[in-house]
A and B are shown apart, each in its own frame.
Chain A
């Protein structure tokens, strides 16, 4: 197949994917979104005859726009722009999970310092303040006291981009020193790992120690439902155990749409890039069938 890769930098994740695609003899069109222009009817990017395009943009804003333009030209793209739109914004992400009745941490959004303070006080201490757009644990605040809350809110309101004036406030979930990342394709888990740290942030990007994890039936069910809630695709579903390690009860706090998988590939015995490419091949074949039916 002929595969397009939307990117702006090649990380180890993209390298793993590119190597697997090349090993299988697929033709690759690397599309550096920094160098291309996207018009209403066409693009400078070479997207002719691509069977599928994989969005691997590191920048969320570029990811959202580039996938939307490609989709408008009728180019099959994963993940779909609708999925990206929901996953890129934590507020939309929480709403989608709640609407699907998936357990997710209690969350409020407020737009002023005063109303944010009311949200924080209603949750009590500690609680968590997150940027609506962001990743890798950046700019996350665990708020332990009213004094800290006042200082953080004032800084955000004074120094921040307008998005930082959308205060996304969440209950603090007392997880057992670890959370769970599951990588799934259209709701079917490929592999999962725990991320463990003494710090309240356990992200692998923050140095959390990773270890392969076997999802139980309940976790698999939640991964499938969370995937469906955001529109499906290649996703990283993040869960926390509620009620202690191995309790079998979970809350889903986030679904990621340009998911990194190098840490999972290293932690797991599963050949993650091979599984991802298996899925891409199936998606490309399905898109081809749809196009054939449409022209029949």
Chain B
């Protein structure tokens, strides 16, 4: 991940490691953990909280 002075820091919910998020992340956004590659969901921004994203459901799509 690039070093961005505006980047946010959060705890990876799986490994407990501190990870950097883009400054413009928003609640509900899905990001890939730079540590494990797992999909994480942004739950809140103040403080920045992440959870493992829900598993893919059968009716997901377009």
Interface residues of A (CB under 8 A from B): 7-11, 14-15, 18-19, 30, 32, 58-61, 133-136, 138, 161, 236, 256-260
The answer to whether B29 touches A10, judged by C-beta atoms less than 8 angstroms apart, is: yes
A258 to B61, CA, bound (A): 8
Q: Interface-forming stretch among B2-10, B12-20, B51-59?
A: B51-59
With a CB–CB cut-off of 8 A, which chain B residues contact A61?
Answer: 59
Report the Cα distance A236→B61, complex, angstroms. Answer: 12
Nearest 6 interchain pairs by C-beta: A135-B61, A10-B29, A60-B59, A10-B28, A256-B62, A260-B62
Binding site for A on B (CB under 8 A): 24, 26-30, 41-42, 53-54, 57-62
Main SS class of interface, B: loop
With most chain A CB atoms within 10 A of its CB, the pick from B28, B42, B61 is B61
What is the bound-complex CA distance between A15 and B24, given in angstroms?
10
Let me know if A58 and B61 touch, CB within 8 A. yes
Q: Closest residue to A87 on the B side, CB-wise?
A: B62
Q: List 28 A-B contacts (CB under 8 A).
A: A7-B28, A9-B28, A9-B41, A9-B54, A10-B28, A10-B29, A10-B30, A11-B30, A15-B29, A18-B26, A30-B26, A30-B28, A58-B60, A58-B61, A59-B59, A60-B59, A61-B59, A133-B59, A134-B58, A134-B61, A135-B61, A135-B62, A136-B61, A136-B62, A138-B61, A161-B58, A236-B62, A260-B62
Q: Tell me the complex Cα distance, A7–B41, Å.
A: 13
Are B62 and A9 in contact, CB atoms less than 8 angstroms apart? Answer: no
The closest CB in chain A to the CB of B30 belongs to A9
